[in-house]
Amino acid sequence: MEAMSSEHATDAAAATPTIFERIIAREIPADIVLETERLIAIRDIAPQAPVHLLVIPKTAQHRTVAELAAADPALLAEVVATAQRLADEHADGDYRLVFNSGANAGQTVFHVHAHVLAGGLDEGSLAH
């Protein structure tokens, strides 16, 4: 049997690995703050808050949070629990959780990921 990853087999768009797949595969470096069997968390390379982390499911099968929620709600719950844990560890436990969904909402990497923003955020600055 060909040992092709099922993560790559179904979605033509996934034929070219995203930057997150390459980080997960250790092909390019990142500041990894947490890793479990099913997800990884890294520091965002262009932080928009004092603490700006990305929680990224390892599977490349889901492009958006809605796709993830429909296909694997337990994994989405793990993403959310991880966001809380990271906010506890890296800030005071308070955080904003952002999933950009679609290019017109600012999504640039089409591999679902949560932005965990923490460390003292202003009110009234959800979007510009």
Binding interface with ligand AMP (CB under 6 A): 19, 30, 42, 44-46, 54, 100, 106-109
Residue type, 49: A
CB closer to ligand AMP, 6 vs 66:
66
Q: How far is the CB of 3 from ligand AMP (least distance, A)?
A: 27
Given the residues 52, 62, 111, 113, the one annotated as active site: 113
Residue 90 falls in the annotated catalytic set: no
Signed CA dihedral, 8, 13, 17, 20: sign only: negative
Q: How far is the CB of 111 from ligand AMP (least distance, A)?
A: 8
Q: Which residues are catalytic?
A: 113
